[in-house]
Amino acid sequence: MRRAGEMSVADDPKQKGLGALTATFLVAGNMVGSGLFLLPASLAGVGSSSLIGWGIAGVGAMAIAGVFAILGAVRPDPDGLVRYPADGVHPWAGAIAWGAYWLSCWVGNVAIALAAVGYLAYFLPALIGPWPTAIAAIVAIWLMTLANLSGPRVVGWFSGSTLLIGLVPIVAAIIAGVIGFDADVFAASWNVSGQPLTHAIPATLVTIFWAYLGLESATIAAKAVDNPRRNLPIATLGGVALATVVYAAATAAVMGVIPAGDLAKSTAPFADVVGRLVGPVAGAVVAACALAKTLGTLAGWLLVAAEAGASGAASGYLPRAIGGEPGSRLPVRGVVATAVLMSITTLATISPTLTKQFNALINAAVLANLLVYLLCAVALLRFSGGLSPGRRFAVWAVAGLAGAFCLWATFAYLAG
């Protein structure tokens, strides 16, 4: 949150902020990455018909993005995920939003650690198994904890240096998948769940939405965006649309090469696709890039989770003992406490397969985020009171669609 006396890029006419195109790539870049690395295997139980789920999830994500685009334009706030529910609904809604976001951070981090283990297992198959996987994930968690304790700059450098590396597996899989696409494999994997698509597809929405977390990025950076009333909607909706195209292309490429039965057993689907079509060396390069990206993402989000915990401690939601230390820019106790929670969660969710454990964790993280998004949609309804009738109706339509999607996805998952 900006301190008194500070000036944002948007406030200073001498500084050039983010334009529509740059902000669009910011949104898409914050979503496209390690969140997708294991999803083709997670969706293999439904099959290639999960592409329908990507389309539906994309529409829901666009609606939620619309909520944040409007909120960011009329009430820019870097702490908006918490402040919007608190100001627009009730202070307790802010507390609930913070708790859900904090929970999703460290639960989702365990899933990221598992994704890292999955791609490391491409080189070390002995890591596949309930206990070897869990132990390897805990080792990854504590290695990234040590990186955090070395200082925020180390984490920032590590996360930033792996940003473009993370695109290699996705781009390579899409290119290789398009070249080697087998329509018969894709068709045979269309619906392997044995359930009607009207039941199978809605149950995948929560899992799919794991890849959309971060769609509010442009809103949080609203003060750095030029002409936010115009550029924020373009950036937010455009970023989600661009990410959806990439997600659908990557999923189709993988499912058009690897049969659903084999894909469900994969711990490194993008490396497996490239390895099958190009060769083991290329597959190993892709696996190494995915491993680097997931570790970089884990390091960065571990710091975010610790900062969220410190913010909760400062607000009285958590014991102050895990907040920031006086005079320190790094919440050391918060970092360690987050790593402990993540380690306990890893052990508590041990499953027969890595993919099953990964799915349980990402579903919990997404459900928590959907609650936050729902509260923000309700807040937007409250904030729209001063608008003209025509604009108010449009805002209500966007907020209503976003809220309905959050509720539908949640209940479809619970019913499935």
Tell me the residue type at 92. W
380-411 pLDDT, tens per residue?
999 887 777 888 899 999 999 999 999 999 99
Nearest to 298 by CA among 107, 125, 129, 12: 107
Residue 4 inside a domain? The answer is no
Residue 333 inside a domain? The answer is no
Containing structural domain, residue 27: 20-124+169-276+353-415
Distance CA 58, CA 279 (A): 33
Predicted pLDDT of residue 133: 97
Predicted pLDDT of residue 214: 78
Cα–Cα separations (whole angstroms), residue 117 to 54, 60, 262, 304? 25, 31, 19, 21
Distance CA 324, CA 311 (A): 8
Predicted pLDDT of residue 6: 31
Q: Which element (helix H / strand E) includes 400?
A: helix 389-415
Please state the pTM of the whole predicted model: 0.89
Residue 337 inside a domain? The answer is no
Q: Burial-class residue 154 by CB neighbours within 10 Å (0-12, 13-18, 19+).
A: middle
Predicted pLDDT of residue 391: 86
Predicted pLDDT of residue 3: 30
Angle of CA points 278, 119, 274, to nearest 5°: 10
Residue 230 inside a domain? The answer is yes
Nearest to 268 by CA among 185, 362, 342, 354: 354
Contacts of 406 (CB under 8 A, 6+ apart): 60, 64, 370, 371, 373, 374, 377
CATH number assigned to the domain comprising residue 387: 1.20.1740.10
Alpha helices in 150-227 (DSSP H): 152-161, 167-179, 183-188, 197-200, 205-209, 217-220
277-325 pLDDT, tens per residue?
999 999 999 999 999 999 988 988 888 888 888 877 777 777 776 666 5
Cα–Cα separations (whole angstroms), residue 328 to 149, 331, 333, 340? 12, 7, 11, 21
Residue 376 inside a domain? The answer is yes
Predicted pLDDT of residue 349: 96
Contacts of 145 (CB under 8 A, 6+ apart): 302, 335, 336, 338, 339
User: Into how many domains does the chain fold?
Assistant: 1
Residue 11 inside a domain? The answer is no
Residue 232 inside a domain? The answer is yes
Residue 44 inside a domain? The answer is yes
Residues of the chain with pLDDT under 50: 1-15
Cα–Cα separations (whole angstroms), residue 20 to 26, 66, 215, 387? 10, 15, 15, 25
